[in-house]
Amino acid sequence: MSIALQTLSQEQKEHFETEGFLIVKGLFSADDIAEMERTFEQISETTIPGHFEPVMDDENNDPLKRYPRVMHPHRFNETAKNYMLHKPVMDVLADLFEEQPLAAQSMFYYKPPGSRGQALHQDNFYLKVEPGNCIAAWTAIDAADEDNGGLLVVPQTNHYEIICPEKADANESFTNHYVKPPKDQKAIPAIMEKGDVLFFNGNLIHGSYRNKSKDRFRRAFICHYANESAARISHHYRPLFRADGTPVDLEMNPDGGPCGIEHQTVYPH
């Protein structure tokens, strides 16, 4: 039974369900993006234990030491929490889930020039949302393309089960897990303009290549959401939040996934 869409067109909804991802424009104003830029520029000059711990004088010249990702900024920064619960994004998610979304995670990536990417992976391997799935909302704070390490997606892999990952190439990926795409299916770049939001299913295989540009960051604000009817999620993502900011504490999901064991969390993207 189809639902009455509130924000998306039927064509957009069908694209998401078939391909596993959807780019939506116009959900953030120029002022919204500018406020996020200011907020995370200030954060980049600080140290917040457990959330953002840069190495200001890295001798190994790894740009991700100076600019690591910010983990769960909504837990210490009100602006980040507000944008995690940004109504236009939540409205799109309600159409995609066909029920109300619950916000589970926020992150901010700086990805300066020369940064390694992240090997192909599936988000629900980590979030373990059950029953249902997670959906990511990946907001481009800078234009993202093949040159500066924009996101790669493998279309239609949202229909595949969660796969036990192989070991990633540490020279190209800052995380350890790699999920090999199905035979005859390739990762394609998700070309995005500043302010675009890419939504994708938790089973979709995706990742990114190295930022090969000389002077372009690839900043992104990334949040993950669960469906309201979900009962369990990995403990790293609790509590979750309703659109009005009230917390929801789902049952902890101890399931180790297809590998049969619990993996140390590396967080998606």
pLDDT the model gives residue 259: 78
Residues 101-128 have pLDDT tens digits of 999 999 999 999 999 999 999 999 999 9
pLDDT of residue 260: 60
For residue 93, give the nearest of 173, 7, 19 by alpha carbon. Answer: 7
| CA atoms of 177 and 231, how far apart (whole Å) | 26
Q: Which residues of the chain have pLDDT under 50?
A: 1, 262, 264-265
88 Cα distance to chain centroid: 17
Cα separations in angstroms, 146 against 123, 139, 151, 208: 21, 16, 8, 9
SS3 19: helix
153: exposed, middle or buried (Cβ count in 10 Å: 0-12, 13-18, 19+): buried
pLDDT at 256: 62
Q: What ranges in 85-219 are assigned the alpha helix state H? A: 87-97, 124-127
Superfamily of domain 10-53+67-259: q2cbj1_9rhob like domain (2.60.120.620)
Q: How far apart are CA 50 and CA 110, in angstroms?
A: 17
Closest residue by Cα to residue 61 from 114, 118, 119: 114
pLDDT, position 267: 54
pLDDT of residue 3: 74
CB 54 within 8 A of CB 44: yes
Alpha carbons 31 and 8: distance in angstroms, whole number: 23
Query: pLDDT digit string (tens) for 11-61?
Result: 999 999 999 999 999 999 999 999 999 999 999 999 999 999 999 886 668
pLDDT at 137: 99
